Amino acid sequence: MADGSPVTLFDPYAARAQFPILSRQVNGKPLVYLDSAASAQKPRAVIDAMTAAMEGSYANVHRGLHTLANETTEAFEAARDGVARLLNAEASSNIVWTKGGTEAINLVASGLGQSIQPGDEIIVSQMEHHSNIVPWHMLRERRGAVLRWIPVLDDGSLDMAAYADLLGTRTKVVAVTHMSNVLGTINPVRAITEMAHAVGAQVLIDGCQGAVHAAPDVQAIGCDFYAFTGHKLYGPTGVGALYGTVEALEALPPYQGGGEMIETVTEDAVRYAQPPHRFEAGTPPILEAIGLGAAIEWLSRFDHDAVAAHERAVYDHALARLDGLNWLRVIGAAEGKGAILTFTVEGAHAHDIAQVMDRYGVAVRAGLHCAEPLAKRFGLTSSARASFALYNTLEDADAFADALIKAREFFA
């Protein structure tokens, strides 16, 4: 832990008890929340930290000399320190606050886009979330960039041989997810980065899932940028962070203009602040950052490998319960994948399956999961997804399997 306390053994039932919402019922059944890849629930530590900040010590940050401003600034910057530790960043000054992973990626795309020339190539993968596709499409539309796509193999892993063939002298940016929000695939981001740097390209890693489940180490990965959001990491919505190396951030032009991101402003000129404040125009998400800092601190109490093993055990139990069902198609089976189970049911639309499962208190997501190119790759118009988190249990896996089988019987 950040305060030097020993990391505790992981007890999923004790962890689960710290999430007030998980004690409620839905449709007369105990809630089984399997939608954490979309947004995770919040532990009491996060709720209490944000409440305490609002009730006891709140003001705007950086700009005041009074006690409340100083206290709030200290808590706000302590949360930035927590993000730096989470990612193993070189320093807190490598961390830029954003309103989420989407804004973090857009910030980078906007900045890098100012030097993109017609014909310059940007490599993304077929498994990307729209947040890591659309900003690059905008550069295709506005700057004449060319998008190149890393194929996904049948098991849900990236075709690394094809990726090697895509790299060339026109490659300027490689933007890939650390962990797929649909397949659960954990990509070899260090190798991806090394290969991109060998041709002089910069690398952005979408860590919205990876920051939660893949133990990111940005120094070991070697990436130029790493983006993630708070609400999937057991923190609040409305806050995220961007990591950048010193060189990458210093070379990036401002994203938005306003207060906080400047050193001086005159009628004739403006001088911008140094990173990270150059990219933090206006009042930042103060309370949300404090909440995310509390989430990171809370999560640091547990051994990451033990949490990952537990999540995988719950996933494996659910999969074993469904083994042999010829009406079920599971999407994604890459080695070492995270605990995301995406599936289709023969003879039933995914939306209908999700609605019937909700009758039994089981919350799963259905749709394209903001990943249309991936859906097309696997011939899907829709799919359902159960995403397991540290607070899920073997009993949740059983409830999921039971509800899915009943849902199938409803449409059979």
Question: Which strand (E) or helix (H) includes residue 400?
Answer: helix 394-411
The predicted structure's pLDDT at residue 8: 55
Cα diameter, the chain = 72
Q: Work out the burial of residue 55: count CB atoms within 10 Å of its CB; fewer than 13 is exposed, 13-18 middle, 19 or more buried.
A: exposed
Say if residues 199 and 167 touch (Cβ distance below 8 Å).
Answer: yes
Encoded tokens for 92: 């807190």
The predicted structure's pLDDT at residue 327: 97
Per-residue pLDDT of the chain (412 residues; tens, 9 = 90+): 444 444 457 999 999 999 999 999 999 999 999 999 999 999 999 999 999 999 999 999 997 789 999 999 999 999 999 999 999 999 999 999 999 999 999 999 999 999 999 999 999 999 999 999 999 999 999 999 999 999 999 999 999 999 999 999 999 999 999 999 999 999 999 999 999 999 999 999 999 999 999 999 999 999 999 999 999 999 999 999 999 999 999 999 999 999 999 999 999 999 999 999 999 999 999 999 999 999 999 999 999 999 999 999 999 999 999 999 999 999 999 999 999 999 999 999 999 999 999 999 999 999 999 999 999 999 999 999 999 999 999 999 999 999 999 999 998 8
The predicted structure's pLDDT at residue 208: 98
| Distance between first and last Cα of the chain | 51
323 Cβ partners below 8 Å, 6+ apart?
none
Q: Kindly report the number of other CB atoms within 10 A of residue 20's CB atom.
A: 12
Residues labelled as active-site residues: 370
- The Cα 255–Cα 252 span in angstroms is 9
The predicted structure's pLDDT at residue 412: 80
The predicted structure's pLDDT at residue 1: 45
The predicted structure's pLDDT at residue 41: 98
Q: Work out the burial of residue 301: count CB atoms within 10 Å of its CB; fewer than 13 is exposed, 13-18 middle, 19 or more buried.
A: middle
The predicted structure's pLDDT at residue 64: 77
pTM: 0.96
Domains of the chain, with CATH numbers?
A: 12-30+303-411 (3.90.1150.10), 49-299 (3.40.640.10)
